[in-house]
Amino acid sequence: MDKLILKSPAKINLFLEVLKKREDGYHQIRSLMQAVDLCDELILEKRPKGVVISCDHPRCPADETNLAFKAASLLLQEEKEDQGVAIHITKRIPISAGLGGGSSNAATALKGVRQLLELKVPDCTLHKLAARVGSDVPFFLYSGQALVQGRGEEVRPIRIYGGYWLVLVCPGIEVSTRWAYQNVKISLTKGSRDVNFGNLRDASGFFAALPHFENDLEEVVSKRYPITRRIKDSLENFGAVKSSMSGSGPTVYGVFEQKPQAEEVARKLLRGDWQVFLTRPIPG
């Protein structure tokens, strides 16, 4: 095999708790993440040595700062592998949008390089390398849904209901994840919310729990970027069961039980400076 083509999915945060600032400078989080079928595409091809990367998006770095480049390079170094790989990324996931596109590309690169070069790398090693690349990267080594804790490196796959549709709305702005975490307000008495994940496996339990899920970064981001609040209000006014910001934003999603309603809302919200996507969860 000399060439491999892989899908690299986006994610949303069904809830995101920011619990405390850690001594290592990261934040302790707890989040229920859901992969969705809005995907980038990665083409990996063998080359004699090293890693080269390219992308069709002008704002996606095509150098050593790209997370997919970092991930592939780390794996080759770890395995002392002489072969190299060329990676081309076709972007569909908006950049700096709270959807984990760069982290997904990195995880997909790790899995892809292992498969392409037929490396005998155990999953646990891939996970450790993913955590070195970025906080959200380990999640994308798994499929579907997971409870993510620590700074993002603790991933526990779970099964929850996924028979719904999502409208993702990304306004024409970018939000710095670092800035959002630096400015989030953390209560000294804050603790993890009690969630019975067993109740989320069927539709009634899932939709009953959704209104109680929150994103702790929403408040700080919406104050600086009020467009996120306006999008959230619009989705709720159009009948979303739940609307929330994903990650550090600015993408806001609405949850809909039926595809026709989601399609109609997506059409209503489509405008020149916004990116609007109709998508659905990837099963576990």
Cα–Cα distance between 220 and 207 in angstroms, integer? 26
H or E element in which residue 195 lies: none
Cα–Cα distance between 116 and 128 in angstroms, integer? 20
Active centre residues (catalytic)? 11, 136
H or E element in which residue 33 lies: strand 27-47
Cα–Cα distance between 209 and 198 in angstroms, integer? 11
Nearby residues of 25 by Cβ (< 8 Å), 6 or more positions away: none
Nearby residues of 52 by Cβ (< 8 Å), 6 or more positions away: 84, 86, 87
Q: Which two tokens stand for residue 106?
A: 């990195």
Q: Which of 141, 74, 67, 132 is nearest to 103 (CA)?
A: 67
Cα–Cα distance between 220 and 250 in angstroms, integer? 11
Q: How far, CA to CA in Å, does 182 sit from each of 21, 149, 178, 186, 220?
A: 9, 18, 6, 10, 10
User: CA angle 41-140-55, nearest 5°?
Assistant: 30
Residues in the chain: 284
